Amino acid sequence: MRDALLGWYDAHRRALPWRATRDPYAVWVSEIMLQQTRVETVVPYYERFLARFPDPHALARASEDEVLGLWSGLGYYRRARLLHAGAREVVARYGGEVPEDPAARRALPGVGRYTAGAIGSIAFDRREPVVDGNVARVLSRVHGIDTPLGRADTERALWAHAQALVDAERPGDLNQALMELGARVCTPRGPRCAECPIARECVARRDGRTAELPVAKAKKPPREVACVAVVATRGDAVALVKREGELFGGLWELPSAEGRGRAAARGALRTAGIGGRLGAAPVGVLEHVLTHRRLCVEVWRASAASVAGAGGRLVERAALHEVGTSTLTRRCLAVAR
């Protein structure tokens, strides 16, 4: 199976920018960006990020605003903050060199078992396995694992199979071959088994169960949340506030609050310390889906007579790209143009 996977990978691998390097820092950046995000989306972000922050020293020196500004639009901003914190730790504790020792790598902020394995195998040529969504799908099908993803016994089985496969020459290529196969051939729907290099070994194909495997995790439906966002302007500048907390922490966004209607919009302005006059009615409503929440956002316009809140500031529209803003903020600004 290993030879078949490596042979297929050598013939079919895509030329992606992070595959042209074995620099552990570059591999780390690419793996963090690729979490939950499509390859085509990541490529330009990766190139800009590496051009601006070519090594951990450069990233460690940057401000959070600068890092989030370059990450704007890529989503899951917690990843960027953890990568930033990780670079600072690599500089402070390891002189700017990403550690080869697996335990030290795993202890870095934001580096879980998957990311540590990807860096270890690709950059350091160590026989460390990876299991991401693509690998889990391939291995579940090949081995006929029919317990739900995410459950402890399933995860143990997947990691054990991945470990057995990677335990030989070219571990980085083997891991990437599995991921690439999952992304391009063993796809969630309609896997192209006729083109698959490991079809002969595959239990799901043999038993006609490719549509059933892997067994999905039971998902909670997203929680519906009604909220308001206020586009308060003075001239060509927009009032933004810096968000605290887990989800969008460190990003600049519009004054917002849970709830509906004028009272909620006024409350959002007050909390942000922005004085001004609110429009007569919302200028639009948009729906925005996050991992666990479905936001129904009423967008209001206001004049920003004063910005006195801690953390609030006026940003010229032309300079918006210099600060980190979420996709939701940019969508609301487009509604209120």
For residues 169 and 231, is the Cβ–Cβ distance under 8 A? no
Residue entry with tokens 């990003």: 251
Binding residues for ligand SF4 (CB under 6 A): 138, 141-142, 185-186, 191, 193, 196, 198-199, 202, 204-205, 210
Task: For the beta carbon of residue 132, count every other beta carbon within 10 angstroms.
Answer: 21
CB of 271 to ligand SF4, least distance (A): 51
Nearest CA to 307 out of 249, 252, 245 is that of 252
CB of 139 to ligand SF4, least distance (A): 9
Residue entry with tokens 């948009």: 286
Q: Which two tokens stand for residue 230?
A: 């206020």
Nearer to ligand SF4, 211 or 334 (CB): 211
The CA distance from 206 to 219, in Å, is: 29
Task: For the beta carbon of residue 1, count every other beta carbon within 10 angstroms.
Answer: 15
Nearer to ligand SF4, 67 or 138 (CB): 138
Nearer to ligand SF4, 12 or 106 (CB): 12
The CA distance from 253 to 251, in Å, is: 6
CB of 137 to ligand SF4, least distance (A): 7
Annotate 120-170 with DSSP letters as a single string: HHHHH--------HHHHHHHHHHHT--SPTTSHHHHHHHHHHHHHHHSSS-
Q: Which two tokens stand for residue 45?
A: 């972000």
Nearer to ligand SF4, 144 or 279 (CB): 144
CB of 74 to ligand SF4, least distance (A): 29
Nearer to ligand SF4, 50 or 185 (CB): 185
> Degrees (nearest 5) of the Cα angle 273, 279, 285?
95
CB of 286 to ligand SF4, least distance (A): 38
Q: Which two tokens stand for residue 125?
A: 């040529």
CB of 19 to ligand SF4, least distance (A): 22
Q: Give the contacts of 147 (CB within 8 A, at least 6 positions apart).
A: 153, 154, 157, 215
Q: Is 31 a catalytic residue?
A: yes
Choosing from 31, 128, 253, 298, the catalytic residue is 31
Nearest CA to 217 out of 155, 289, 139, 130 is that of 155
CB of 107 to ligand SF4, least distance (A): 34
Nearer to ligand SF4, 1 or 104 (CB): 1
The CA distance from 242 to 143, in Å, is: 48
Rg of the chain taking only CA atoms, in angstroms: 23
> Cα–Cα distances in Å, from 263 out to 74, 225, 267, 282, 298?
33, 17, 6, 12, 12
Nearer to ligand SF4, 183 or 226 (CB): 183
Residues noted as catalytic: 31
